[in-house]
Amino acid sequence: KQEVTQIPAALSVPEGENLVLNCSFTDSAIYNLQWFRQDPGKGLTSLLLIQSSQREQTSGRLNASLDKSSGRSTLYIAASQPGDSATYLCAVGASGSRLTFGEGTQLTVNP
């Protein structure tokens, strides 16, 4: 059974700082890996999708890497802003788009 762990559970940084969120998974036979953002009481917004054959994806200030053999992914956020404050979820995809989610990292960016 796939298990996904995210570290840290919570992170508070000053505005402008670069930061890294970590995700690890136990079964390396994955189809893809996605990073999502969730605002309080809201649904999920997909940030980046990395296929199992890829090593990284970039979108604006976000960069996600994938090391399937070691079961790890990182989400790098450059020049953080208060609007980046949210919970970030890592989800590992199996066939049929079934996702296993981590418990998330709650990020607070202080002005």
**Which residues have a Cβ under 8 Å from the Cβ of 75 and sit 6 or more positions away?**
20, 21, 23, 35, 47, 48, 62, 63, 64, 88, 90
12 binds other proteins (CB under 8 A): no
Count of residues that bind other proteins according to CB under 8 A: 21
Which residue among 49, 62, 76, 85 contacts other proteins (CB under 8 A)?
A: 49
Which residue among 22, 44, 63, 72 contacts other proteins (CB under 8 A)?
A: 44
**CB-CB contact of 100 with 32 (8 Å):** no
3-state secondary structure of 95: helix
Find residue 44's DSSP bridge partners: 38
92 binds other proteins (CB under 8 A): no
58 binds other proteins (CB under 8 A): no
Task: Tell me which residues touch other proteins (CB under 8 A).
Answer: 4, 32, 34, 36, 41-46, 49, 89, 96-104
